[in-house]
Amino acid sequence: MQDIASTVLDKIDKAILKELQLNGRLSNVQLAEKVGLSESACLRRVRMLEETGIIDRYVMLVNQAAIGKPGNVFVRLTLDGQQREKLATFEEAVQGVADVMECYLMSGDFDYLLRVIVRSNDDYVRVHNQLTSLPGVFRVQSSFALRTVLDKTEVPL
């Protein structure tokens, strides 16, 4: 994989990325037509974007409310220490909590910020019990999202 930072995106690369972010299921033929390239040139560009890591992966997004998990809870979590091994142990363990969708190591007043999806407030009790049993967890503070105002998947280019 090449160095991502050294990769310069031109207008066509950005157009490819924009189209694929809107619809990752586009065929190469459809994509080439939308960005004004031949099919072979378009395929070369997409492969280069994949090889450099600019295209990270292809996914399908599930509507979490449609599968019965409409709730989002943002959890601020503090460990009992910030030693490298404590962080690593926690980070490995939190990956086993299925309802944790995102986890960020933070600067500031707490160590991690998590986004957890749940069926209900009562369902969060189950997840809270899982989180408090993870290694090194000292404090858990939770905020329930009342409503989603903005939910983007497209990275601005």
State the amino acid at position 123 in one-letter form.
Answer: D
Is residue 130 located within the same domain as residue 89?
A: yes
> What average pLDDT does range 85-113 have in this prediction?
98
Q: What is the CATH number of the domain that holds 106?
A: 3.30.70.920
What the block records as the tokens of 62 is 């599930």
Q: Which domain holds residue 18?
A: 4-51
| pLDDT (0 to 100) of residue 3 | 61
Where residue 8 falls among pLDDT bands split at 50, 70, 90?
confident
Is residue 137 located within the same domain as residue 85?
A: yes
Residue among 113, 122, 118 nearest 75 (CA): 113
Is residue 127 located within the same domain as residue 80?
A: yes
How many domains does the structure of the chain reveal? 2
Is residue 80 located within the same domain as residue 121?
A: yes
Q: What is the CATH number of the domain that holds 18?
A: 1.10.10.10
Residue 149 forms part of a structural domain: no
pLDDT single digits (tens) 41-92? 999 999 999 999 999 999 999 999 999 999 999 999 999 999 999 999 999 9
> What average pLDDT does range 137-157 have in this prediction?
96
Residue 150 forms part of a structural domain: no
> What average pLDDT does range 112-127 have in this prediction?
97
Whole-number mean pLDDT of the chain?
Answer: 95
For residue 131, is pLDDT > 80? yes
Is residue 82 located within the same domain as residue 137?
A: yes
| pLDDT (0 to 100) of residue 1 | 54
Burial class (CB in 10 A: 0-12, 13-18, 19+), 45: buried
For residue 2, is pLDDT > 60? no
Contact by Cβ (8 Å): 86, 94? no
> What average pLDDT does range 89-106 have in this prediction?
98
